[in-house]
Amino acid sequence: MRELREQKKQGATSSEDERGPSKKTTSPTRKVPGKKTTAPTKIDIFVLRHGEADSRMTVEEDSKRPLTPGGRIEMQKIAKSLKTVGLQTDRIYTSPLRRARETAEITARILKIPILEEWDELKPDGSKQALYRKLARLEQDSRPILVGHEPHLSSMIGEIIGTPDARIVLKKGGLARVRITSFTPRISGELRWLLTPKITARMS
């Protein structure tokens, strides 16, 4: 059988053999399935330690210790500073312990944050893995504030940045910004900044 040669469109004629005109055939186009691309994760969490609370000498049950008058005043200054510098978020998640809850309420009121929820994962003995699973369900570009306790918070930050033994000091009223960039195969991210309460209060 004679080989068919591709001819140029201009001035081309179809050659014929004794069985009739040859027909130009085209092989079917094979579709290459496109790879699904997943947008990179970007969630900024603002990690806030509760303000100064009453000592255990005055309140027997740890979960019921409230903020001291000085602690409330300091948290008000910190929240006003965050408002001044334009920190924007629509949600705040807090440990249910009273001192953390009061810190979250002060912050939510001044920053006009509409959503305030208690998360058991932010308790001093809360499960960090369960916390990461909750964070993974948040929308892309979320910017929640997490209010909790030490050393739980600094341990969490260390795990996220891949340095579990990092010596991160988060003072009462201190604030850190952490960007989560991935949840698989493990949570990972970077520490963007870390502020002491005195520095934050002076920003207003």
CA–CA gap between residue 134 and residue 68 (Å, rounded)? 31
**119-133 pLDDT tens trace:** 999 999 999 999 999
Strand order in the sheet with 188-195: 115-118, 91-94, 145-148, 43-49, 175-182, 188-195
Residue 2 has pLDDT above 80, yes or no: no
Beta strands 43-49 and 175-182 are antiparallel
**Residue 129, SS3 per DSSP:** helix
- Structure-token pair, residue 201: 């209060």
Closest CA to 128 of 153, 110, 108: 153
The structural domains of the chain, with segments of one domain joined by +, span 43-201
pLDDT for the residue numbered 33: 52
- Structure-token pair, residue 98: 């009273």
Q: Which residues contact 71 (CB under 8 A, 6 or more apart)?
A: 51, 52, 53, 99, 172, 173
**151-196 pLDDT tens trace:** 999 999 999 999 988 899 999 999 999 999 999 999 999 999 999 9
Closest CA to 144 of 120, 108, 172: 108
| Range ranked top by mean pLDDT from 40-49, 50-59, 119-128 | 119-128
Fold of 43-201: Rossmann fold (3.40.50)
Residue 25 has pLDDT above 80, yes or no: no
CA–CA gap between residue 143 and residue 44 (Å, rounded)? 5
